[in-house]
Chains A and B, each alone.
Chain A
Amino acid sequence: MPGFGLTFGFTLSWLGLIVLIPLATILLKAAGMGWQEFVAVGLSPRAIASYRLSFGTAAAAGLVNAVLGLLVAWVLVRYRFPGKRVVSALVDLPFALPTAVAGIALTALYAPNGWIGQFLEPIGIKVAFTPIGIIIALIFVGLPFVVRSVEPVLADLGRDVEEAAATLGASRFQTFNRVIMPAIGPALLTGFALAFARGVGEYGSVIFISGNMPGRTEIAPLLIVTQLEQYDFNGATAIAVVMMLVSFTILLLINGIQAASRRRMGI
């Protein structure tokens, strides 16, 4: 087969030029900073508050998406209803809609005089400019990751195992808990991990609805932008590196859990 030299060479050069060399810069920059300075900015109280907010809201939105995304995937795979094709296409909206557009639309909806906000305000629920607003934006952004991860596995799951469970006297609930959940568990975890990773780094859809108060509703990516606007490149680098390290550690852990559960299932 011809073309290995050409395609492989081009792939490596383009990867190096666009991704690897630029990424290496940030590690070089961090390495040149010195431990004291790195900790002073990267682990300052304001930075830690922003990590807690970013990782906390991403985890909360990921959990909501794991539950409701599974519901959506289940309904799309198992049931027939009018307009299903449109609903299925709509699930991909967050992939196609620019994040800034989603951000201002959600803010308009959940502002105290917005379509949804006006009903929540009287019962004392504030969404816009609070962490709840951030979670709602991250639910929007992360939903398709869960649905699209779970859907194919659910579709491939043979009805025979469910029939076997039913003939052995299992109730529908028992079958779901003991037969279906273990089979789709790894895919659900993948969906959660993808939504979580996206949520931690998300910027455009969040900054409009979050209110951006330092220490309270300031997400980590916004803190990086703030440092950059003050020409504090070391500060921005330190926060970015801490964020990347924590993200990669969590993703590695999730990968590990998945590998272990696959081994247990014998796949």
Chain B
Amino acid sequence: MSRETALRATSEGRLWQALLIGGALAFLGIFLALPLIAVFAEAFKTGLGAFVLAVQTPDALASIRLTLFIAAISVPLNMIFGIAASWAITKFEFSGKALLITLIDLPFSISPVVSGLIFVLLFGANGVVGPWLAAHDLKIIFAVPGIVLATLFITFPFVARELIPLMMEQGKSEEEAALSLGANGWQTFWYVTLPNIRWGLLYGVLLCNARAMGEFGAVSVVSGHIRGETNTMPLHVEILYNEYDFVGAFAVASLLALLALVTLVAKSVLEWRFDMNSGAGH
């Protein structure tokens, strides 16, 4: 069979191709691109001035600060966890490994609302340790610690999930070589493992961060919606929207949409580098 006939037999005609591409693009355009465009269009509906005013209110600024603060605590903690978990899982053999991986993934299959609920049941006024906390004047639910805990739970699997398959594939021969040449454990990790996993790690951190800053359901349950104190950016969007301050809601929302766009661009660049690296390695 000549190359042309083979191609014709295993591909579609030009018309079919155009139809399928057109269908896919129309679907993505209506379902993904339009909502994104709508966020910015609504935010700038009444001009740049209204947008700037909406973003600069004290409550909006407080919500931005809180969101950054929450991400700055929860992302590094789950990053360290992700590295430790994938080191233990990919460099050693032990029984129950499959169960451990399943448990690490568990937060992905639980509704965000339920993820918030469990912390209310644990630390809330009527919760398991609630009375003890109240007696010691500690506040977790309807306060910042509760938001951090809920975010930690929601973003728990992100880094580990990226690193485990990557480190599994890379094996441990390079580390063993470094150790046999006299490097200690930390040196081996720092100079051998970390350079090998840095792009995968960055990828996981990126997704973890996007979720940490954008989480709504879980945070909404534990935050108590106290303006200027426990309102994250997504919660502030909800409050403004429910007060019919649409320009304000979409202005804050557009900042979050911008974060999403930056995440997507960085993610694409990383994927591109990944391809380059693995292409060069083979």
Contact = CB atoms under 8 A, between A and B. Distances in A.
A100 B10 contact: no
Interface residues of B, number: 97
Contacts of B111: 200-203, 220-221, 224, 240, 243
A203 B221 CA distance: 11
A39 B210 CA distance: 38
Contacts of A109: 34-35, 38
Contacts of B181: none
A141 to B, nearest CB: 11
Given A2-B179, A25-B118, A96-B261, 19 more contacts: A1-B172, A1-B179, A4-B91, A11-B89, A19-B103, A20-B103, A26-B118, A71-B24, A74-B24, A93-B264, A97-B214, A98-B216, A101-B39, A115-B38, A166-B9, A220-B111, A221-B112, A225-B113, A236-B117
Contact of B112 (A19, A102, A105, A201): A201
B108 to A, nearest CB: 8
Nearest to A8: B88
Interface in A173-230: 175, 197, 200-204, 208, 220-222, 224-225, 228
A102 B35 contact: yes
A259 interface: no
B34 A115 contact: yes
Interface of A: 1-4, 6-8, 10-11, 14-15, 18-23, 25-26, 28-29, 68, 71-72, 74-76, 78-79, 81, 85, 87-102, 104-106, 108-109, 115-116, 136, 139-140, 143, 159, 162-163, 166-167, 172, 175, 197, 200-204, 208, 220-222, 224-225, 228, 231, 233, 236-237, 240, 243-244, 247-248, 251
Interface stretch (B50-58, B121-129, B131-139, B194-202): B121-129
Chain B, interface SS category: helix
Given A23-B106, A167-B9, A201-B112, A104 B237 contact: yes
A75 B30 CA distance: 17
A164 B281 CA distance: 32
B31 interface: yes
30 contacts: A1-B91, A4-B88, A7-B85, A15-B85, A15-B104, A18-B152, A22-B119, A25-B127, A29-B121, A71-B23, A72-B27, A79-B21, A90-B28, A97-B214, A97-B256, A101-B253, A101-B257, A104-B39, A105-B36, A105-B39, A140-B35, A167-B1, A172-B9, A201-B111, A201-B112, A202-B112, A202-B217, A236-B117, A240-B113, A251-B109
The 5 closest A-B pairs by CB, nearest first: A201-B111, A98-B214, A166-B9, A204-B216, A2-B185
Contacts of B268: 85, 88-89
Contacts of B221: 225, 228
Contacts of A79: 17, 20-21
A133 to B, nearest CB: 13
A248 B111 CA distance: 12
Nearest to A87: B28
A221 B113 contact: yes
B118 A23 contact: yes
Which of B23, B114, B259, B264 is most buried by chain A, counting CB atoms within 10 A of its CB? B114
Nearest to B272: A85
Nearest to A102: B35
Contact of A92 (B34, B253, B264): B264
A201 B113 contact: yes
A91 B34 CA distance: 13
A4 B85 CA distance: 10
Which of A2, A26, A72, A98 has the most chain B CB within a 10 Å cutoff? A98
Contacts of B95: none
A201 B110 contact: yes
B84 A68 contact: no
Contacts of A225: 113, 220-221
B113 A203 contact: yes
A7 B87 contact: yes
